[in-house]
Structure formats: C-alpha cells, structure tokens
Structure 1
Amino acid sequence: MSKYAQYAQKLDTAFKAAREKYMEVYDAVKAAEKRVEDAKNEKDEYFRGDAHPPGRMCDGPSQS
C-alpha cells in the first residue's frame, strides 16, 4: 500500500469517527430541544387550566 493510500485510509477513519460523534451530540441536542418544547407546552396547558399539577387529583368543575 502506498503512503497515500495509508493516508487516505487514516483520513477516512477519522472522518467516520468525527461523524459518529457529531451525530451523538446532534441527537442529544434534538432530544433536549424536544424536552424544552414539551415543558413549554405543559406549562401553557397548566396556565390555561387544561392540565392539573402532578400529584393533584381533578375535583371536576367548580360549582361557583
């Protein structure tokens, strides 16, 4: 194998490793963004009255 083929093989291996690491981090960022969006939606539902705080049972509509 020529020195250029060895260089190309090492370069290919390095790019594959970098791409794999990038995809791991990218997936983690996307998962975090989804958790933030879900939390925002949950907060919005809570303040609109569509949801109840965790651990609290719904008493039904108020009879005022």
Structure 2
Amino acid sequence: MNKEQTKTAIAFVALAIAALSIIGLFFVDIPERNRDLVNIVLGAIIGWGTTVFGFYFGNSDRKESSDEH
C-alpha cells in the first residue's frame, strides 16, 4: 500500500465512523446522564469528517499535487 492509498483508506474510515455515529443517533437511546459526553464525542467525530473533506477538496490536496509535477 503506497502513501496515497493509505491516506485514502484513513479518510474513508473517518467518514464511515462519522456517518455511522450520526445514523446511530436515530436508533440508540442515550441515557440522560451521558448526553453531554455523547455530544462532545460526536462533535469531535464530525470534525474528523470535515477535516477529511477539507483536505481532499481543499487547498492542501491541490498544493501537494502541484508540488509533485
């Protein structure tokens, strides 16, 4: 597995975890005492997803691609 494939695999895992976490909220009842913790963790997980999108569709990926050519 090369560097690009590794980055892509990590990105898909992060997006899958974020999507499954959001979908899970519809099916899992969260006890009242754990709601704050779940909100904090879910915010972090969604942050991972936005970071992945920011890299793949933002300036970081374009800069790296232009450095290679």
TM bracket (short chain): 0.3 to 0.5
State the TM-score, normalized to the length of structure 2: 0.42
- Give the number of the structure with larger relative contact order, counting CA–CA contacts within 8 Å between residues 6 or more apart: 2
TM-score, L = length of structure 1: 0.44
Q: Which has the higher helix share?
A: 2
